[in-house]
């Protein structure tokens, strides 16, 4: 969201993050932002010193969403302590009193506990004086080559009426638009920085690579031979159901696999949701391997200048957890237009 905010002209003054790998990545890519390396529950609003109140301010963020995800059926309820971190978001908002608030989360927040958590956030922001609207946006409608639904709650302290951002005109960007100029990699690729494979193949790739001659993130998980054997049986758009049953004997109950497992992407369509690499195991559209960190970042609309730090697993986690940059930028640009 910070990268999207910057792209829309918003100066990101402060950030709160406690994961050491995400801290390293954020600090590298946002040198102008003061990062507070704490659990949000331990952050005091007085730490946000030096805000220029002559300029419009916005507090934006997304409390941890695993507990609200529809793919999480183990602790998707009020007993999950992480599901209550929205209270600290509200606490910061009440203290800072920004002109705007932007609250992001997974679509599952709408249904969890019969909508209790969504209602609690809305009531909390209304009591703090905000005029609100909330909506679910599909990233593919805003230039992102990925079908990814996210809930946004947007609030104005000054009574501005908030509408849904207009969708991007024209056809959706696709996996092919994102991948065709990237290096040709194999399973287990480990050279982080490489030159591009060819000239930009689409307007989308031109936007993300700019004037770069090479970029980072060309690392791929080294899958075992039996996993690669499974990949070979899956056509574009297919999934685990295309794999011969004798190759899936390690699954206790194969019928419980969801459709996103072993899904091979289609080059002429937006991607399915980029999530946990190890659980989803998305497959490259024309290679028998998983996605590189850069390929997944392209599907999340990160510019190629953005570098990820940490082990490959932590880099994959950071990409999968992110709000698509272009989606965030579209929303912030829309808010800017309302403010004017």
- The per-residue pLDDT for 79 is 55
Contacts 24+ apart (CB under 8 A), 106-111: 106/65, 106/68, 106/69, 106/70, 106/149, 106/150, 106/151, 107/70, 107/136, 107/149, 107/150, 107/151, 108/65, 108/68, 108/69, 108/70, 108/72, 108/76, 109/65, 109/68, 109/151, 110/136, 110/151, 111/70
Domain spanning 2-164+324-339: which CATH class is it, in words? alpha beta
Q: How far apart, in whole angstroms, are the C-alpha atoms of residue 46 and residue 306? A: 30
The CATH-assigned architecture of domain 175-321 is Alpha-Beta Complex (3.90)
Q: What is the pLDDT of residue 52?
A: 73
Q: What is the pLDDT of residues 264-273, one digit of tens each?
A: 999 999 999 9
CA dist 83 and 77 (Å) reads 8
**What are the start and end residues of each CATH 3.90.120.10 domain in the chain?**
175-321
Whole-number pLDDT of residue 78: 52
Rounded-to-integer distance, Cα 124 and Cα 89, Å: 10
Q: Which residue has the tokens 């510019």?
A: 303
Q: CATH 3.40.50.150 residue ranges in the chain?
A: 2-164+324-339
CA–CA dist 70, 75 (Å, integer): 11
Taking a C-beta distance cutoff of 8 angstroms, is the pair 212, 305 a contact? yes
pLDDT tens digits, residue range 219-230?
999 999 999 999
Q: Collapse the DSSP code of 132 into the 3-class scheme (helix H, G, I; strand E, B; otherwise coil) and give the result.
A: strand
pLDDT tens-digit series, residues 85-110: 889 999 999 999 999 999 999 888 88
In sequence order, the 6+-apart residues with CB closer than 8 A to the CB of 297 are 217, 306, 308, 319
Q: Which residues of the chain have pLDDT under 70?
A: 65-82, 252, 255-259, 340
pLDDT at residue 220, rounded to an integer: 97
pLDDT of 125 reads 97
Residues recognised as catalytic? 65
pLDDT, residue 76, reads: 43
Which helix (H) or strand (E) element contains residue 150?
Answer: strand 149-156
pTM above 0.85, yes or no: yes
- The pLDDT of residue 206: 96
The CA–CA distances, whole Å, from 41 to 160, 294, 317 equal 30, 33, 22
> Could you give the CA distance from residue 150 to residue 261 in angstroms, rounded to a whole number?
21
């Amino acid at each position: 969201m910070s990268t999207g905010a910057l792209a829309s002209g918003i100066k990101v003054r402060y950030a709160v993050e406690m994961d050491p790998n995400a801290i390293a990545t954020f600090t590298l890519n946002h040198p102008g932002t003061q990062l507070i390396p704490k659990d949000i529950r331990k952050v005091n609003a007085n730490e946000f010193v030096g805000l220029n109140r002559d300029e419009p301010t916005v507090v934006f963020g997304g409390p941890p969403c695993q507990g609200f995800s529809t793919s999480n059926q183990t602790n998707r309820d009020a007993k999950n302590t992480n599901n209550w971190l929205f209270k600290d978001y509200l606490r910061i908002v009440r203290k800072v009193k920004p002109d705007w608030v932007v609250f992001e989360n997974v679509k599952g927040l709408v249904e969890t506990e019969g909508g209790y958590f969504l209602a609690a956030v809305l009531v909390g922001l209304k009591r703090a004086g905000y005029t609100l609207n909330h909506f679910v946006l599909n990233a593919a409608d805003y230039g992102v080559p990925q079908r990814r639904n996210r809930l946004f709650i947007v609030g104005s302290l000054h009574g501005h009426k908030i509408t849904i951002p207009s969708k991007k005109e024209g056809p959706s960007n696709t996996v092919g638009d994102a991948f065709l100029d990237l290096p040709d990699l194999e399973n287990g690729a480990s050279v982080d920085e490489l030159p591009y494979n060819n000239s930009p193949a689409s307007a989308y790739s031109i936007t993300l690579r700019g004037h770069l001659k090479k970029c980072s993130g060309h690392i791929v998980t080294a899958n075992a031979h039996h996993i690669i054997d499974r990949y070979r049986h899956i056509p574009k758009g297919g999934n685990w159901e295309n794999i011969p049953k004798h190759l899936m004997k390690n699954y206790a109950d194969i019928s419980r696999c969801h459709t996103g497992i072993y899904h091979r992407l289609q080059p002429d369509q937006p991607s399915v949701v980029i999530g946990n690499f190890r659980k989803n195991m998305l497959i490259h559209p024309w290679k028998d391997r998983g996605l590189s960190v850069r390929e997944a970042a392209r599907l999340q609309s990160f510019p190629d200048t953005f570098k990820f730090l940490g082990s490959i697993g932590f880099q994959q986690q950071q990409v999968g957890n992110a709000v698509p940059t272009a989606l965030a930028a579209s929303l912030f640009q829309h808010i800017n237009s309302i403010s004017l």
